[in-house]
Amino acid sequence: MGTHTSIDERYEFSGKIRTWSLIAIVIGVVGVAYGFLAGGDSVQRTFSNLLLMSYYFACVCTAAVFFLAYQYVAQAGWSASILRVPQAIAKVLPIAAVILIIVAAAGLFTTHKVINEEGHEEVMPYLYGHWAAHGLTDPKSEHYDALIAGKSAFLNVPFFFIVIVGLTFLYSLFGHLLVKYSTNEDELGGMFNYNKSFKMSCIFLVIFGFTFPIFAFDAVMSLEAHWFSTMFGWYNLAAMHVSGLAVITLIVLYLRNKGYMQWVTENHLHDLGKLMFAFSIFWTYVWFSQFFLIWYANMPEETVYFYKRWEPEYKWWFWLNIVLNFLAPLLLLMSRDAKRLGGRLKLTAIVILIGHWLDFYLMVMPGTIHRHPGHEVHIWDMYGIQEIFIAVGFVGLLTFFTFNSLSKFKSLLPKKHPFIEESLHHHI
């Protein structure tokens, strides 16, 4: 482990991290193959897990673009020296988007038979069956569902793909532009590229703020199409943002441990810690706001969401979600000193990432997995090979592609960034 202090240092993607991320991807592929070949209920479970992880993956990459954009709009100085990390993650967004689109399409266009709530057998797609099943919007069909028919202007297959493809494309495009301006800036210097980044970031934030809820409505909320919550978009925004921050922090800490980015001091870590701390509390705030209003109003069409998550098999995990995503960051990062300790930050970031996996799990699973009445649900029915292997596989994908794109940068420091001196001498 040598110390590199040159500002021209390049990241070399090799060694253990490369091997392990490739092994993780193989584990993921094995998990998917096992899930599909095992047949029966396992196929549905594999689809649900694939959707969960590809959505999580796309969210983390989008959060990196979001991070870049608000750093530019705020004209933040402190972050200039770590911008390569979110840039590298932002470059992975197109890959994450393609995976998400493939998973959503595969889930939409393959069908299986399920027993619906009335006890009738019904042919349904694996994913988004609540609105995409055949005949739901046809008044002559026996499956006609007036509620879904009323929502069909929004919940239909072409519009679904317009939203998912269009929005991930837009976010990727802005991510690509912000990275391009930054690398051009390294060649040319001056304020020209910075000003363009500022302008693009402003436009991105406006688009992103209005469209991300729609993205969340389509990708996840529509799994339970009878239910709706206007808080859902913000709730997802908070979750994706805090998990994106945790990934950025973990990568910065890893690089610093490996002897790269020696300019990152405990002051930069303090700022990252503050963001993780604050947005964990923000997540709790929106989570509670959604829960509280539904609980108080007690309208059946709204409470059904929490009713399902209050079933015995989900109840403990429902509470654990709050422990991992609220209590843990609150207590672990409350004091000033804690935010400046690399080890503490690493622990908290890992807890937050696992916590938000559980958070997304609780959004996706109760709406897609059909349990057989009367069967006892074992822990391995909830967290088995499909869950663990597919999650590991996506962690591998994120690691591999992020570090790969990080190694493409000519320098780990955006050395002509106008605020780079401020960032190198950052002190709080």
CB closer to other proteins, 210 vs 292 = 292
Q: Give the number of residues in contact with other proteins, rule: CB under 8 A.
A: 9
For other proteins, which is the closer residue by CB, 112 or 344? 344
- Asked whether the beta carbons of 107 and 368 are under 8 A apart, the reply is no
Give the H/E segment covering residue 297: helix 266-297
Q: DSSP letter string over 160-223?
A: HHHHHHHHHHHHHHHHHHHHHHHHHHHHH-SSHHHHHHHHHHHHHHHHHHHHHHHHHHHHTGGG
For residue 187, what are the contacts with CB-CB under 8 A and spacing of at least 6? none
Q: Which is nearer to other proteins, 12 or 337 (CB)?
A: 337
Residue span 328-367 as binding mask against other proteins, x where in contact by CB under 8 A, dash where not? -------xx-------------------------------
First to last CA, the chain: 28
For other proteins, the closer CB: 322 or 369: 322
* Cα angle for residues 211, 217, 221 (degrees, 5° grid): 160
Nearer Cβ to other proteins (336/408): 336
Rounded Cα gap, residues 428 and 418, in angstroms: 20
Residue 110 DSSP class:
-
Specify the residue, 152 or 289, whose C-beta has the smaller distance to other proteins: 289
Nearest-approach distance from CB 114 to other proteins, in angstroms:
34
Q: Which amino acid appears at position 211 of this protein?
A: T
In the complex, minimum distance from the CB of residue 221 to other proteins, in angstroms, rounded to a whole number: 22
**Binding string, residues 71-90; x marks residues near other proteins by CB under 8 A:** --------------------
Q: Say whether 378 sits in a helix, a strand or coil.
A: coil
Closer residue to other proteins (CB): 34 or 285: 285
Angstrom CA distances, 399 to 19, 27, 250, stand at 11, 14, 11
Residue 163 Cβ vs other proteins, minimum distance, rounded to whole Å: 33
Q: C-beta of 231: minimal distance to other proteins in Å?
A: 15
- Tell me the two tokens of residue 74: 């705020």
Interface positions, 408-427, toward other proteins (CB under 8 A): 427
Of 259-318, which residues contact other proteins (CB under 8 A)?
288, 291-292, 295-296, 298
**What is the closest distance, in whole angstroms, from the C-beta atom of residue 295 to other proteins in the complex?**
6
Residues that bind other proteins (CB under 8 A): 288, 291-292, 295-296, 298, 335-336, 427
